[in-house]
Amino acid sequence: MIRLRENRKGIGLAGASALLLLLVAGCGVNPDEAPESAGSTGTAARFVPPQEDGTPVSRSRPTQRAAGTVRISGKAQGSLTSDLVNAYERGGATSVVSVNPSNENRAFEEFCAGQADIVDSARPISEAEYRKCIANGIQPVQFQVASDAAILAIKNETDVGTDCLSFEEVRNIFRAGSTINSWSQVGYGHDLGGDGNEPRMKVAGPDEDSNVFGFFGQYVLGDQEPTMLTVRSDYQAFPTDAGVRRAVVGSNRDFRAAANFDRSRQVYQDILDSLAENRRAVRDARAEVAKGIADERPPADRARDRRKLEQAKKNLRKLERSLPAAKRYVASNRAALRRLAEVRGTLGLFRFSYYEAFEEQLRPVEVSASNDFAKPECIFPSQATVTNATYPLARQLLLTVNYRNMRDPDINEFLVSSLNRSQNLAESASLVPLPDETRDTELAWLNGTSEPDIIFYQSGSVPEAGTEQQADSPTGE
């Protein structure tokens, strides 16, 4: 059974510096290649093999802990950990897993103090947190169990004047009080002068009950507990991804109606033409009846003339009755066209798995890891760039452990179980599962056939293990 310790503060937001470190992690790598390391961290860090030559690994030591109990601290937005723990217990767990769903900052603080065995986070450990761990003899190793990403997309085959936004522009578009109302105000290659030819800027996305909204609000907009007050006032919120998609590309009903517009207009015109012809036919038939009477035609001929008149009147009445419906059909299809035109330029916020399912309708906007307009680093969202977090709106769901404890039987058993089940559980949770290569690499770390790449910050001096060192702030940032 999972033991949950109450913590009502919710999930904490990493500081802006840690956010930027996460966003630019991996800059300069080929985004289409598999990640060299499963974990991710800030730009000042690198991954190195563990060495017994005076590096922090040689000075690290196991966390003192009770065997048979695995202590997990933290609960990232959209975390997979609860599912992993449940699956572990259903699979015949030999250890008890306790979970403290604290915020990520507090979780890393507990981990570096030796009070937690595993940290559940959607961000890497910061340099300040890393140095506090090293000061206490703890060498962090981060295992990735899944990925997720917020995708910004417009209607496919729509030209809004740009293909790429900077991260800062994304923030400014969605934040409360945003003054961005036109696509001409954003994007690389624009004069940013407000060209009236560009479509109006509109935004849509999930409501505040969505994990994507929570992740985006925390890690992009900087609100620890995002609500509708966090986003711009004209943000169109929907309870389902399908609602967001319709706001961006239009409804299927409108697509069908718009496709029938030309045909319905032709039918309406055909009815108008037929009405004119039938009115002439009625006038001609009346004249023929009158002429037959004046000419004293035989009764059979006059009866025939009257039958022609009645048939002409009948045809005319039928056409007149069909005209209002044909007119309404044209108007309805024209309104559908207008609605489809109105969605042009709407920027939608989607989870990656939903975007993939409808990529024939949605055109993703690339996001640059750099806010330098002279040197954009535009990244297209894909399985590879989400997994290795080179796409700036991606996040890796990570489990951080102490290098010296990762082969403790209980911790090792839980991590092996989690990695073996992570792909299926990630798919069920609409997350991006690990590539087989990454999963197999991490399993090799655990079974001893290869050593993990450890996190190593080179900037500044690293204190000796056991010496007292404080993080840069109370939150570990």
* Tens-place pLDDT, residues 121-165: 998 888 899 999 999 999 999 999 999 999 999 999 888 888 999
Q: Which amino acid is at 370?
A: S
**Which residues touch 426 (CB under 8 Å, ≥6 apart)?**
80, 145, 146, 432, 433, 434
Q: Kindly tell me if the per-residue pLDDT of 168 is higher than 70.
A: yes
CA-nearest of 218, 137, 144, 104 to 476 is 104
- Which tokens is 344 given? 């042009």
If you average pLDDT over residues 220-248, what whole number do you get? 94
CA-nearest of 138, 88, 79 to 112 is 138
Category of 239 on φ-ψ map: left (φ > 0), alpha (ψ -120 to 50) or beta: alpha
CB atoms inside a 10 Å sphere around CB 220 = 22
Q: Kindly tell me if the per-residue pLDDT of 9 is higher than 60.
A: no
Choice among 162-171, 201-210, 255-264 with the minimum mean pLDDT? 255-264
Average pLDDT, the chain: 82
Q: Which amino acid is at 329?
A: Y
Q: What is the DSSP letter of 388?
A: T
Choice among 41-45, 196-200, 417-421 with the minimum mean pLDDT? 41-45
If you average pLDDT over residues 260-281, what whole number do you get? 93
* Per-residue confidence band for 46, with pLDDT thresholds at 50, 70 and 90: low
Q: Kindly tell me if the per-residue pLDDT of 28 is higher than 50.
A: no
> What integer pLDDT is reported at residue 154 of this predicted model?
95
Q: Kindly tell me if the per-residue pLDDT of 472 is higher than 60.
A: no
* Contact (CB, 8 A) for 376 and 113: no
Q: Kindly tell me if the per-residue pLDDT of 313 is higher than 90.
A: yes
* Contact (CB, 8 A) for 432 and 386: yes
> What integer pLDDT is reported at residue 117 of this predicted model?
97
> What integer pLDDT is reported at residue 10 of this predicted model?
30
> What integer pLDDT is reported at residue 59 of this predicted model?
77
> What integer pLDDT is reported at residue 60 of this predicted model?
85
* Per-residue confidence band for 31, with pLDDT thresholds at 50, 70 and 90: very low
H-only helix segments in 151-229: 167-174, 211-219
Q: 340 by DSSP, 3-state: which?
A: helix
Q: Which amino acid is at 100?
A: N
CA-nearest of 91, 123, 88 to 108 is 123
If you average pLDDT over residues 88-97, what whole number do you get? 92
If you average pLDDT over residues 419-443, what whole number do you get? 95
CA-nearest of 123, 152, 165 to 354 is 152
* Tens-place pLDDT, residues 432-442: 999 999 999 99
Choice among 47-61, 205-219, 220-234, 372-386 with the minimum mean pLDDT? 47-61
Distance CA 212, CA 150 (A): 6
Distance CA 108, CA 130 (A): 9
* Per-residue confidence band for 53, with pLDDT thresholds at 50, 70 and 90: low
Q: Give percent of the chain with pLDDT exceeding 90.
A: 63
Q: Kindly tell me if the per-residue pLDDT of 105 is higher than 80.
A: yes
CA-nearest of 110, 142, 117, 121 to 79 is 121
Rg (CA), the chain: 33
* Contact (CB, 8 A) for 110 and 100: yes
Q: Kindly tell me if the per-residue pLDDT of 172 is higher than 60.
A: yes
Q: Which amino acid is at 214?
A: G
Buried b (16+ CB within 10 A) or exposed e, 349-361: bbbbbbbbebeeb
> What integer pLDDT is reported at residue 78 of this predicted model?
84
* Tens-place pLDDT, residues 446-466: 999 998 877 666 544 333 333
* Per-residue confidence band for 51, with pLDDT thresholds at 50, 70 and 90: low
> What integer pLDDT is reported at residue 200 of this predicted model?
84
Choice among 167-181, 198-212, 413-427 with the minimum mean pLDDT? 198-212
- Which tokens is 221 given? 């907009």
Distance CA 170, CA 152 (A): 9
- To the nearest 10°, report the CA torsion of 74, 76, 79, 82: 20
Higher pLDDT among residues 78 and 194, named by residue: 78
- Please give the order of strands across the beta sheet that includes 366-368: 164-166, 366-368, 378-379
CA-nearest of 394, 388, 391, 389 to 378 is 391
- To the nearest 10°, report the CA torsion of 354, 355, 361, 367: 160
Q: 62 by DSSP, 3-state: which?
A: coil
CB atoms inside a 10 Å sphere around CB 252 = 12
Place of tokens 């993990």: 452
* Tens-place pLDDT, residues 325-377: 999 999 999 988 888 878 888 999 999 999 999 999 999 999 997 777 777 88
* Tens-place pLDDT, residues 364-405: 999 997 777 777 889 999 999 999 889 999 999 999 999 999
Apex CA 42: angle with CA 372 and CA 80, to 5°? Answer: 115
